[in-house]
Copies of this chain bind each other. A is one copy, B any other.
Amino acid sequence: MRFLQVDTLEDARQKLLDEAKAWLPATELLPLPQAAGRILAQDVYAANNSPHFRRSTVDGYAVIAKDVQGAGESIPSFLTVVGAVEMGKGADFAITSGQCAEIPTGGMLPQGADAVVMVEFCETFGDDEVAVYKAAAHGDHIIQIGDDMRAGALLLPKGKRLTPQDIGALAVAGAKNVSVFALPKIAFISTGDELIVPHYNPLEDGKIRESNTLSLAALAARHGYDVVQTLSVPDDQYTIKQAIKQAMEICDIVAVSGGSSQGKKDMTADIIQMVATPGVFTHGIAIKPGKPTILGHDETSRTLLVGLPGHPISAMTVFELLFGWLPPNLTGAAENFPIPAKLTTNVPGSDGKTTCCQCKLIFEDGAYTAHPIFSKSGLIATLVEASGYFLIDRGTEGLHKGDNVLVYLY
């Protein structure tokens, strides 16, 4: 085993990204209705102009602008109605000087017409004559061909997280299936002789309810992972090894949350070293909480292996800072928008470590304040108050009341 010195958060992220880039992420074709929220794996170009015909934006009469030049309330222009455009149909006739055609909103302009006059300014006479009481300029009330999008033009770039309006735009652009990055498959294995399934009763002495696989799975799903397995196993090297090996066969990432004892942590590193080649590439990260973190990889099965601390807050923090950070950096998607906020109290840093501080956001007087939540890493109940977290750089002694922080939301 290579014993490495503790990595900074930046170094660990970069190593993780480099390894992940070698195998991840795969892409998949999805029909539009399933692609919302997913990240485009290739540039998308419009397959057609939109609109692909000149559309009227009002109900009225398609005219030749020159014919109604100077028309007004007291001096109407009289035109002959030579047809009526039907919604959803081609306009299979043309108009020439002195002629016009009835047209609905969204209807196709007949050849020859170059403006539309709203019906409110027109008056019909007999079957085929209309008085137009308003002048129109060339192009009035018309959406020209390609005004929305041009055939062959870039509509959405690779790496775009698809919003609801993107899905609509893709439909208009004639897309059927889109290529998006596949969700990395992940398994969570929680280890510990003390763990029992959450709702098991009675709660015997020495036992605790296993919660890491549940909170980590929810966190992973939020960050765009496909959680394919969650498992709780006792502190037995053979059992843990078998569980990891099985998960490696079906997953891109296997995350093991250990107990909190020093001996046990070493066991996870040893096991990763046994099942994976080349194995561990990071052992210890300068973050607080979460220092005892292990990162490894196996080239044969193309799996990333992670040893997370066992304490709930530490495990979630490490997962968030590494694997919440990974997907946008792997796919080129924009990260979520962190929220600027003013600190309400002093917060100490941690010598040489990046500190992750949970906080509650409160909106007052048009701005946010961040109220730090201090808690022991073995506890979880205090975390239910947290809106998100901010980071304190490892070079910093701490932050002061009134300082600005950037809060990442849960």
Measured CB to CB, the residues of A under 8 A from B are: 32-33, 36-37, 46, 48, 50-53, 55, 57, 59, 85-91, 104-108, 143, 147-149, 155-156, 160, 162-176, 192-195, 198-199, 201, 203-212, 214-219, 221-222, 230, 234-235, 259-263, 310, 312-313, 316, 337, 339-340, 361, 363, 366-368, 376, 378-381, 383-384, 386-387, 404, 406, 409-410
Contact assessment for B312 and A168 in the assembled complex, using a CB-CB cutoff below 8 Å? yes
Closest to A143 in B: B378
Which one of B51, B169, B209 contacts A172 once the chains associate, using CB atoms below 8 Å?
B209
Contact assessment for A381 and B169 in the assembled complex, using a CB-CB cutoff below 8 Å? yes
In Å, the complex CA distance between A107 and B148 comes to: 66
Most buried by B among A91, A313, A380: A380
- Known interface pairs A106-B260, A169-B384, A381-B50; A86-B376 also in contact (CB < 8 Å): no
- Known interface pairs A169-B383, A261-B105, A376-B143; A194-B88 also in contact (CB < 8 Å): yes
New A-B pairs, 9, CB < 8 Å, besides A88-B207, A160-B384: A53-B205, A55-B208, A104-B261, A106-B192, A106-B310, A148-B378, A163-B218, A164-B222, A175-B198
Which one of B148, B164, B383 contacts A410 once the chains associate, using CB atoms below 8 Å?
B164
Contact assessment for B316 and A337 in the assembled complex, using a CB-CB cutoff below 8 Å? no
- Known interface pairs A106-B259, A148-B380, A260-B106; A90-B206 also in contact (CB < 8 Å): yes
Contact assessment for B380 and A211 in the assembled complex, using a CB-CB cutoff below 8 Å? no
In Å, the complex CA distance between A102 and B268 comes to: 23
In Å, the complex CA distance between A193 and B218 comes to: 44
- The dominant DSSP class at the A interface is loop
In Å, the complex CA distance between A169 and B358 comes to: 15
In Å, the complex CA distance between A118 and B311 comes to: 18
Closest to A235 in B: B87
In Å, the complex CA distance between A148 and B172 comes to: 53
Contact assessment for A174 and B149 in the assembled complex, using a CB-CB cutoff below 8 Å? no
Contact assessment for B379 and A206 in the assembled complex, using a CB-CB cutoff below 8 Å? no
- Known interface pairs A48-B203, A172-B380, A214-B171; A316-B89 also in contact (CB < 8 Å): no
State how many angstroms separate the Cβ of A158 from the closest Cβ of chain B. Answer: 14
Contact assessment for A214 and B88 in the assembled complex, using a CB-CB cutoff below 8 Å? no
Contact assessment for A361 and B383 in the assembled complex, using a CB-CB cutoff below 8 Å? no
Closest to A85 in B: B206
Return 20 A-B CB contacts under 8 Å, by A number.
A33-B217, A36-B222, A50-B208, A57-B376, A87-B192, A87-B261, A88-B192, A91-B205, A105-B260, A106-B194, A106-B260, A149-B381, A155-B384, A165-B380, A168-B215, A168-B218, A170-B198, A171-B211, A172-B208, A172-B211
Contact assessment for A86 and B261 in the assembled complex, using a CB-CB cutoff below 8 Å? no
In Å, the complex CA distance between A53 and B174 comes to: 62
- Known interface pairs A194-B87, A199-B176; A259-B105 also in contact (CB < 8 Å): yes
- Known interface pairs A87-B193, A192-B87, A261-B59; A174-B198 also in contact (CB < 8 Å): yes
In Å, the complex CA distance between A170 and B85 comes to: 62
